[in-house]
């Protein structure tokens, strides 16, 4: 396991008794740290209802986001690019958001933080997706090593997060 990931896992496990809001903030901070990203988020996946419920997002994302209406629950069919990790069942990497041509790219609402690069992936429990985790705006390009780091981290901390939801 990567040293950054191991340190993050240990810190998060030590903080397992913190209130949910603090825990979510810590997790988002570590998602940014291990991938050198400036924003991060995670959403719970509900297969039965085909909805993603946004649970946590990095403070950097919210500080720079001036959207008046910040929806929390999203129908998968209405999501854009960020729902592709669930639809495609694998990490989805976009290193040139501006020039990406893909049917699911819908842009983002007025006031949303400017996304230059983005990566997200499904996190599984017993082979079924339970979360979608995303990061954005890393200076270097995202790659599958970044996805592996996120997956390693989330596989270790999902039981803690799950117990808090």
All domains in the chain, ordered by first residue: 3-164 (3.30.450.40)
Q: Is the pLDDT confidence value at 56 over 90? A: no
Give CA separation, 81 vs 10, 47, 99, 137, 165, in Å.
32, 18, 13, 15, 25
**Cα–Cα distance measured from residue 64 to residue 98, given in angstroms and rounded to the nearest whole number:** 18
For the cut 60, the answer to whether the pLDDT of residue 63 exceeds it is no
List the one residue out of 162, 151, 157 whose CA is nearest residue 1.
151
Confidence at residue 127, expressed as pLDDT on a 0 to 100 scale: 95
For range 23-38, the mean pLDDT: 96
Helix then strand then coil, in percent of the chain rounded to 5, is 40, 25, 40
Residue 66 has pLDDT above 50, yes or no: no
pLDDT computed for residue 148 by the predictor: 98
- Please answer whether residues 86 and 98 qualify as being in contact, where contact means their C-beta atoms are separated by less than 8 angstroms: no
pLDDT tens for each residue of 95-139 = 998 888 887 877 665 555 678 999 999 999 999 999 999 999 999
Mean pLDDT, rounded, for 15-35: 95
Per-residue confidence (pLDDT) for residue 39, from 0 to 100: 93
Question: What are the residues facing 132 on neighbouring strands?
Answer: 43, 122
């Amino acid at each position: 396991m990567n040293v950054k990931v191991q340190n993050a896992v240990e810190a998060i496990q030590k903080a397992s008794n913190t209130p949910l809001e603090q825990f979510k903030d810590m997790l988002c901070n570590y998602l940014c740290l291990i991938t050198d990203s400036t924003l991060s988020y995670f959403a719970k996946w509900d297969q039965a209802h085909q909805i993603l419920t946004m649970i946590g997002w990095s403070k950097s994302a919210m500080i720079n986001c001036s959207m008046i209406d910040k929806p929390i629950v999203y129908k998968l069919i209405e999501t854009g690019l960020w729902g592709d990790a669930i639809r495609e069942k694998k990490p989805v990497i976009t290193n040139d958001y501006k020039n990406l041509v893909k049917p699911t790219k819908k842009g983002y609402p007025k006031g949303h933080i400017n996304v230059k690069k983005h990566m997200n992936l499904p996190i599984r429990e017993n082979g079924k997706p339970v979360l979608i985790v995303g990061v954005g705006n890393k200076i270097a390009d995202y790659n599958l090593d970044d996805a592996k780091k996120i997956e390693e981290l989330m596989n270790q901390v999902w039981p803690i997060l799950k117990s808090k939801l």
